[in-house]
Amino acid sequence: MTEVTEEMIYDLAVAIRSDLDDLLVKMKDLKLEATALRLEIESFPRFRPIDPAH
């Protein structure tokens, strides 16, 4: 059985932190993209319902 060393735990913690930082950046990018899409959708003209009388 392999002995777990303090260095191995530290390396794992650094890797986890790096992954979490990457995820945070991706979440911020997705939030910006979602905001841009919402603004684009909101810029479309509002379509009036079709009047069946015409």
pTM, entire model: 0.62
The model's pLDDT over 18-41, given as tens digits with 9 standing for 90+, comes to: 999 999 999 999 999 999 988 888
Kindly list the distances between the CA atom of residue 28 and the CA atoms of 4, 7, 10, 15, 34, in Å, as whole numbers in the listed order: 35, 32, 27, 20, 10
- What's the rounded Cα separation, in Å, for the pair 4 and 52? 75
Report percent pLDDT > 70 for the chain.
85
pLDDT given for residue 40 in this prediction: 84
Whether the predicted pLDDT of 16 surpasses 80: yes
